[in-house]
Structure 1
Amino acid sequence: MSGIPGAADPAEDVPDDLHPLRHAIRLPPRPGRPAPWPEWVPQNVVRALRDTGVEAPWSHQAEGAELAHAGRDVVVATGTASGKSLVYQLPVLARFAEDPRATALYLSPTKALAADQLRALSALGVPDVRPSPYDGDTPMDERDWARRHARWIFSNPDMLHRSLLPLHGRWSAFLRRLSYVVVDECHTYRGVFGSHVALLLRRLLRVARRYGATPTIVLASATVARPAEFAGVLTGRDVTAVVEDGSPSAGRTVALWEPPLLPELGGENGAPVRRPASTESARMLADLVVEGARSLAFVRSRRGAETTALTAQRLVADVDPDLVGRVAAYRGGYLPEERRALESALVRGELLGVATTNALELGVDIAGLDAVVVAGFPGTRASFWQQAGRAGRAGDEALVVLVARDDPMDTYLVHHPHALLGAPVESCVLDPGNPYVLAPQLACAAAELPLTEEDVERDFGGDAARTVLDALVEDGVLRKRSVGWFWPSARERPAATVDIRGSGLGQVAMVEAATGRMLGTVEGSSAPATAHPGAVYLHRGESYVVDELDLAAGLALVHAEDPDWRTDARSTADVDVVRVRSRTDHGPVSVYFGDVRVTGQVVAYQRRTPDGTVLETVPLDLPAQTLETRSVWYTIDEEVLDAAGITPARIPGALHAAEHAAIGLLPLFAICDRWDIGGLSTALHPDTGLPSVFVHDGHPGGAGLAERGHAVLERWLRATRAAIGDCGCRSGCPSCVQSPKCGNGNVPLDKAGAVVVLDLVLTALAEHPAPGGSQEAPA
């Protein structure tokens, strides 16, 4: 069935459309390729590593360490548990032995990962390293000690942005001797967050240069497409990639599992739904625990992790009550000591089954398990392989099961195993030139040190940065003098107000009105849809209802309530074409990429029962929001649609369904989430005069996602067509064309019409290629 060597077909006595096991593929074990210790590694470091069980480095570890020791910026993109940390430990520790005053900075996307790496380094017992954490949990007296005495700081981009760089004068001794900057799990720096981090690294290197340091950068990544190119964009420097994994790997069987449709249960608009992936995963986890297999089940939410663990415990109790205590949940939000205890119990085998969020995907040293269950595709192939890599002991076989959710991406993958198992991983997408990111980062840089023409040309993109700087001067944010651009205030620092992880539209605080307690925050861009008056807001498993939303003040007031209904926002949207950057004509189809203005407004919300029945539609009076971003779009001649049987009455539903499915499949080609993307389809767009489908970035200025979609349009739409065609429903469901974020309540949708539309577009692209050949880029 699969066409992949080693693949097994589902049982022959069960009809294919009813058997949940779509494919089973065995990946053979891989032997390790050891290499000699580099001659420059101090003997006490070699002894310390051997004492921990590292007899010799693997080939990729030695290759990456040699490059870094020679002063070459390097990115190591190899699999989970391949020992990437040794690539930077060896050159840093060797440098420390050569120069007693040399320093290093380690950056990770999470505090937990940095803490885990700090523990591993400290366990080596190498003298005079003086490592220290520097994050939001570090007490002030320890921060002071770290600034004065630590040689190796373990931190994150947030602390670099808010504390170290704005106060770089206090860090002058550390920065003057900065020899290495380690950027761990760098594939997580993508989209708007990645664009901020890219400019943050340029700020760091600029300030270090001010103190006379030119540190070598060592980056560690999951396997991603074109890692050298991505790392170069992230750091602004030429980076050499190490991608040949020399570590051993256990044999694994990867099973692709699609829960059956449950026609007796109707979802939104009567569409059939599948048995939830979390329910299937809980059952699998329970079965594995009963069999004595050490297992993880990865789920997508904190609440899902708790629910999956509880369900598995209940199922295990029916078979062997003594095993209930060996099943637990693991997620962010636990106290550090709780997380460490769970990690230790899992490593020692005291815990057999753990339901976890992606908190156990990155960094924490847990590998060698018997099985991993992935409840729903985690959004990227890179994340899937990170999670799958937790399974596999030397010499033993392991099991990995992907359980499909009601989602077009999951539908496509379980029917097309090559897309998951035989394809390269996605490209990381980021755009440091996004003016909505560049402007606040340039203001931060000018506040740290006045910006010179040389800085702008070398570090921040030249002419594009000058345009942004001129606007900042005109707005009074910066001042221009003959020698450069200056931050005018000696007291205020822009870093305090720039959120490097946000959308640029600020945060809305969710506050319990009766107590004044802040429960959490939501993005300003999503607040009208998720925090409008009457909305049900969930926080740590508790339900609240929103009483009031003040977007200008960034405040939503809520009260505790546990209603027996949920809420769905209803919205309108318009897309105006601002600038066409690219156009290609393909007979009856034209393809565009450019700048757009998206105007959206939440106009109502619906109260629905858990099964989707609408109880009430409540109008809302909220202001419209405008988003300047980038989009890819295509148009089709109406005559061609009519000739193919798509009458004018069917056009809106056909385009709408094609748009939804395309949004669901774009993450297959760019590391992103469907919530990072928006779209619009219309039978007659005022700017094109034709039936049109737009897919746009959901962030101001764009995050590079629509641009990536434009580059791989034909493959993207072909996968979209396959996902719709592979789904077993009749008229459309969440596994193909329904969207959980649709502002129109998934009305109208025409599944059959979407297939016709996509067939027409794909035929036109094939029969009328653009001048100069295909616009496709490698994955």
Structure 2
Amino acid sequence: MRPASQNRRAGASPARSSHARRGRRVGDRCEDGGVDLLDVLGAGGRRTDRITHVRHIPARPGEHADWPAWADTDLVQGYRALGVERPWVHQVAAADAAWAGRHTVLATSTGSGKSLAYWLPALSSIRADAAGALLDPGRIESVTRRGSTLYLCPTKALAADQLAALDRLLTAGRTRDVRVATCDGDTSLDERRWVQEHADVVLTNPDFLHFALLPQHRRWARLLGSLRYVVLDECHAFRGVFGAHVGLVLRRLRRLAAAYGSSPVFVLASATTADPAASAARLLGVSPDEVTAVTDDASPAGRKTFVLWRPPELPGTPGPWSELVPDDDPWATPLPVPAQATRAADDLVPPAPDDVWPSSAAPAEGAGPLGTGERLVADATDRPRRTATAEIADLLTDLVVAGARSLAFTRSRRGAESVASATRSHLFEVDPSLVRAVSAYRGGYLPEERRELERAIRTGDLRALATTNALELGVDISGLDVVLIAGWPGTRVSLWQQAGRAGRAGADGLVALVAREDPLDTYLVHHPEAIFDVPVEATTFDPTNPYVLAPHLCAAAAEQPLRFDELDLFGPRTAELLDELVERGALRRRSSGWYWTHAEPASRLTDLRGAGGDPVRVVESVTGRLLGTVDAASADSTVHPGAVYVHQGLMFVVDELHLDDGVALVTRNDVDYGTWARWVTSTEIVAVEQEVAWGPITWGFGSVDVTTQVLGYQRKRIPDMQVLGSSELDLPARTLRTTAVWWTAPAAVLEQAGVTLEAVPGALHAAEHASIGLLPLLATCDRWDLGGLSTALHIDTEEATVFVHDAYPGGAGFAERGFTLGATWLRATRDAIASCRCATGCPACVQSPKCGNANNPLDKAAAVRLLDAVLTHATS
């Protein structure tokens, strides 16, 4: 039996010694060319076997244009003082279109200067109005109709960053007559009153528009009546259900602006997406013909090296009772592995410089599990791989020691804190002075904490940040050398946004996508063409979704009674839905339109971000200090009693969770374990909207009720993740009405697949996990936007059934996309399972980090046979 101390050591960093070996390079600066950062990642050749692909993206020269003749000369001088001697061609093209009164979307890369394209026309307009008032001060219209601009972005951090940038521009141009202010839920009433009465530019977010500005539009009459431009920054973030909500908020804004006599021009800034004009038009509720799209990026870009990385397998780490367990699980049904397929990892040759396998090194056809025909090497072992967060902590340590400035994107708040903490721990062993050069950044921090971290990484006081996607959007952080990405971020759009942080402003950059133990990540690091040779996704959302539309119709009626001639603005199903709302007593119909007659604000009927209510505040019990916030929907699983909460490397244990009050009380306590919630989920079919038959198999799509309840949690020791114990919880169940796609497997199909009655649950469960992991390849979503259920006998279908559902009220179109591409989706799922090198199933193919049943039961081989049998009946 192996001692516990050895178990802990088995999970330690295999590259730890490399940190110390490179300690002499602490003083080197990457910008001086003294360090080859790709060599730093590869640890001088000791980690290159983890690289599955290297892609070099060539540099791009920039193309300048002249300043537009209409541009305010003081603003132009301000830009020149800040180093912009001449704008890029795409900036001028977009600015000209906006100045001409065309709705405009600018879809170019990160760091391409999109803000100039909207601020130049917006501020020039304000300056022109101000000059007109000075020339004819006796005209009252000169004062009351001075043009204004409304800036909307997904996050408060981005609005604060834009405020700082505008202040620098206006100061440089000596144009202090433009009044700029942020206004959101954190703004005091006195400050809000000043903004209502005086501000020329208001920077805010769609949430504030929905909850405060539009319901109280009479207080904002000056702004709405003088609105010339509405800017939507990072509009590619408005996708899924959130995008549908924002689209309807914008329709409400257009409606009220028209009532006050204005017709603003909308200028949208986006990452590179497929068909940006169509997405922008859908967001605004106008025809695509009314939107000018500027997509040719004329800004310079440095050479970017993009590395795909798969962490190594861990050495054997048997638990304390491992000697009592047989080597072979008698209940497992492993895929047979041909003898010729057990080549050692050392036999593999890394990818050639031209990014293709040399013919002499390519594994033979059929070298994967027997009968799969995969060009992958199979191992007879079934060992887990190192986690992406542990791997990135090692890489980030070496980069900090080498003097690089880096961002490490993680998939969760827990991941950001874990990477930052592990990196600081590694650095302490090498050079304690570097510990303070690393920090975490995530949602839930207090605003002042986030501003300070942004300043520190921008100025170089910090060398590295481990962050969630909170820093994916346009906060101006330039001069970074490296971006590390822990796992597929959900979409190619997000991937390139995050990667764009490396080498901004024309400098060279290095990006590494580090695979998690996830079927999608495993597939992508072995299929680079699915990343680099496929266009980015279109932004998907549906503003006509009745579950999203209904509360916005109530909100619009509360703001101003809905008239018959306004219904087209909200889509073709509006009249039908209004009748239903009248029948349910939500609205009252009169000859002049539809009215909201209830005392409570209609805007409270919906939450734009689907968070399930107001955030839960995390408060330290002893001091009463507010540490941060947690989304209401995730509070049950993250701040339940007994949960470990980490904030900037400090550990707290939750004493009490008061859901009604929205407060979690915590106590400072350094423990050697983390907590993972355990929950149970059931799915009920409410309505079948579409159905097709593949012979004996039924494919269905419709509305479902998904009920989830957190039952307890496990305590796992860190870092070896050994389970220390579990506890039960008494928390309420939550029900989600959404849409799902499902397929059935009748007894005849199970028999055809050779799946016995005992193997059915494991086969279905494995197929469900893998299909959830692969659907993001076909729909603009992340696996965390999805949920699923598999059962050997479902009460509604009366057969073995696999469900995959959208994780948003009313659905977001992802399950429907899976329904329309069923055969393509299942083939990709089958191939991902079969190509994995493990024998009986692992986190890279059929295990899921979201599973509420501890990934049990799972049967990889039976899942492959079942999917093969199902696909023989596929009609498309």
TM-score w.r.t. structure 1 length? 0.87
Work out which of the residue numbers 285, 298, 323 in structure 2 matches 1:246.
298
Give yes or no for the alignment of 1:404 onto 2:515. Answer: yes
State how far apart, in whole Å, the 1-side matches of 2:670 and 2:778 are. 40
State how far apart, in whole Å, the 1-side matches of 2:584 and 2:871 are. 47
Residue 395 of structure 1 deviates from its aligned partner by 6.4
The worse-fitting range, judged by mean Cα deviation, of 289-298 and 709-718 is 709-718
Shift in alpha-carbon separation, 1:73–1:357, aligned structure 2, 3 A: same
Residue 706 of structure 1 deviates from its aligned partner by 1.0
Residue 447 of structure 1 deviates from its aligned partner by 1.4
Residue identity matched to 2:50: P
Residue 21 of structure 1 deviates from its aligned partner by 1.0
Q: For the Cα contact (< 8 Å) 2:308–2:514, is it kept in 1? A: yes
Q: For the Cα contact (< 8 Å) 2:437–2:462, is it kept in 1? A: yes
* CA offsets 1:700-726 (integer angstroms, 9 cap, x no match): 211222122223434433433343234
Q: Which residue of 1 aligns with 2:208?
A: 159
Residue identity matched to 1:112: A
Please list, as runs of the form range in 1=range in 2, the aligned pairs for 1:614-763 lying within 5 A after superposition: 624-763=733-872
Give yes or no for the alignment of 1:576 onto 2:652. Answer: no
State how far apart, in whole Å, the 2-side matches of 1:608 and 1:321 are. 28
Report which structure shows greater RCO (CA 8 Å, sep ≥6). Answer: 2
Please list, as runs of the form range in 1=range in 2, the aligned pairs for 1:344-383 lying within 5 A after superposition: 344-383=455-494
State how far apart, in whole Å, the 1-side matches of 2:613 and 2:233 are. 28
Residue identity matched to 1:117: Q
Please list, as runs of the form range in 1=range in 2, the aligned pairs for 1:509-548 lying within 5 A after superposition: 536=643, 538=645, 540=647, 541-545=650-654
Q: Which residue of 2 aligns with 1:71?
A: 101
State how far apart, in whole Å, the 2-side matches of 1:605 and 1:315 are. 29
The worse-fitting range, judged by mean Cα deviation, of 753-762 and 222-231 is 753-762
* CA offsets 1:379-438 (integer angstroms, 9 cap, x no match): 322222111111125665321111112222221221111122222223333222233322
Give yes or no for the alignment of 1:284 onto 2:333. Answer: no
Shift in alpha-carbon separation, 1:116–1:484, aligned structure 2, 3 A: same
The worse-fitting range, judged by mean Cα deviation, of 176-185 and 227-236 is 227-236
State how far apart, in whole Å, the 2-side matches of 1:105 and 1:205 are. 12
Any idea what SS the aligned residue of 2:384 has? strand
Work out which of the residue numbers 42, 58, 64 in structure 2 matches 1:34.
64
Give yes or no for the alignment of 1:120 onto 2:172. Answer: no
Work out which of the residue numbers 419, 423, 426 in structure 2 matches 1:308.
419
The worse-fitting range, judged by mean Cα deviation, of 320-329 and 142-151 is 320-329
Give yes or no for the alignment of 1:92 onto 2:125. Answer: no
Residue identity matched to 1:416: H
Q: For the Cα contact (< 8 Å) 2:753–2:868, is it kept in 1? A: no
The worse-fitting range, judged by mean Cα deviation, of 40-49 and 20-29 is 40-49
Residue 579 of structure 1 deviates from its aligned partner by 2.8
State how far apart, in whole Å, the 2-side matches of 1:39 and 1:186 are. 28
Residue identity matched to 1:119: A
State how far apart, in whole Å, the 1-side matches of 2:614 and 2:584 are. 19
Work out which of the residue numbers 1, 4, 20 in structure 1 matches 2:50.
20
State how far apart, in whole Å, the 2-side matches of 1:605 and 1:320 are. 37
Shift in alpha-carbon separation, 1:523–1:311, aligned structure 2, 3 A: closer
State how far apart, in whole Å, the 1-side matches of 2:871 and 2:230 are. 46
State how far apart, in whole Å, the 2-side matches of 1:486 and 1:544 are. 49
State how far apart, in whole Å, the 2-side matches of 1:338 and 1:566 are. 24
Give yes or no for the alignment of 1:265 onto 2:317. Answer: yes
Q: Which residue of 2 aligns with 1:774?
A: none
Q: Which residue of 1 aligns with 2:89?
A: 59
State how far apart, in whole Å, the 2-side matches of 1:335 and 1:506 are. 16
Residue 483 of structure 1 deviates from its aligned partner by 0.8
State how far apart, in whole Å, the 1-side matches of 2:193 and 2:613 are. 33
State how far apart, in whole Å, the 1-side matches of 2:730 and 2:536 are. 44
Q: Which residue of 2 aligns with 1:169?
A: 218
Q: Which residue of 1 aligns with 2:244?
A: 195
Q: Which residue of 1 aligns with 2:357?
A: none
Q: Which residue of 1 aligns with 2:182?
A: 133
Q: For the Cα contact (< 8 Å) 2:610–2:809, is it kept in 1? A: no
Residue 79 of structure 1 deviates from its aligned partner by 0.9
The worse-fitting range, judged by mean Cα deviation, of 175-184 and 322-331 is 322-331
Residue identity matched to 1:155: T
Q: Which residue of 2 aligns with 1:446?
A: 557
* CA offsets 1:687-707 (integer angstroms, 9 cap, x no match): 334332110112221122212
Residue 619 of structure 1 deviates from its aligned partner by 6.1
Work out which of the residue numbers 248, 261, 267 in structure 2 matches 1:218.
267
Q: Which residue of 1 aligns with 2:365?
A: none
Q: Which residue of 1 aligns with 2:277?
A: 228
Give yes or no for the alignment of 1:499 onto 2:607. Answer: yes
Same amino acid, percent of matched pairs: 54
Shift in alpha-carbon separation, 1:256–1:69, aligned structure 2, 3 A: same
Shift in alpha-carbon separation, 1:434–1:211, aligned structure 2, 3 A: same
Q: For the Cα contact (< 8 Å) 2:614–2:662, is it kept in 1? A: no
Q: For the Cα contact (< 8 Å) 1:412–1:722, is it kept in 2? A: no
* CA offsets 1:468-496 (integer angstroms, 9 cap, x no match): 4334334433322211111225x642335
Work out which of the residue numbers 571, 578, 581 in structure 2 matches 1:461.
571
State how far apart, in whole Å, the 1-side matches of 2:493 and 2:583 are. 43
Q: Which residue of 2 aligns with 1:256?
A: 308
Any idea what SS the aligned residue of 2:466 has? strand
Q: For the Cα contact (< 8 Å) 1:415–1:726, is it kept in 2? A: no
Shift in alpha-carbon separation, 1:348–1:742, aligned structure 2, 3 A: closer
Residue 669 of structure 1 deviates from its aligned partner by 3.2
State how far apart, in whole Å, the 2-side matches of 1:341 and 1:687 are. 54
State how far apart, in whole Å, the 2-side matches of 1:622 and 1:337 are. 33
State how far apart, in whole Å, the 2-side matches of 1:623 and 1:354 are. 37
Any idea what SS the aligned residue of 1:273 has? coil
Residue identity matched to 2:825: W
Q: For the Cα contact (< 8 Å) 2:770–2:845, is it kept in 1? A: yes
Residue identity matched to 1:596: V
Any idea what SS the aligned residue of 2:771 has? helix
State how far apart, in whole Å, the 1-side matches of 2:161 and 2:282 are. 27
State how far apart, in whole Å, the 2-side matches of 1:292 and 1:511 are. 37
Give yes or no for the alignment of 1:415 onto 2:526. Answer: yes
State how far apart, in whole Å, the 1-side matches of 2:832 and 2:801 are. 21
Q: Which residue of 1 aligns with 2:73?
A: 43
Shift in alpha-carbon separation, 1:631–1:327, aligned structure 2, 3 A: closer
* CA offsets 1:626-669 (integer angstroms, 9 cap, x no match): 43221112234432332332223222211111111111222333
Q: Which residue of 2 aligns with 1:777?
A: none
Structure 1 unaligned regions, length at least 5: 1-6, 770-779
Q: For the Cα contact (< 8 Å) 1:427–1:670, is it kept in 2? A: no
Shift in alpha-carbon separation, 1:522–1:713, aligned structure 2, 3 A: farther
Residue 153 of structure 1 deviates from its aligned partner by 0.8
The worse-fitting range, judged by mean Cα deviation, of 475-484 and 491-500 is 491-500
Residue 334 of structure 1 deviates from its aligned partner by 5.2
Residue 45 of structure 1 deviates from its aligned partner by 2.7
Q: Which residue of 2 aligns with 1:586?
A: 694
Residue 295 of structure 1 deviates from its aligned partner by 2.2
Q: For the Cα contact (< 8 Å) 2:392–2:408, is it kept in 1? A: yes
Any idea what SS the aligned residue of 1:702 has? coil
State how far apart, in whole Å, the 1-side matches of 2:746 and 2:725 are. 39
Residue identity matched to 1:501: R
Residue 256 of structure 1 deviates from its aligned partner by 0.9
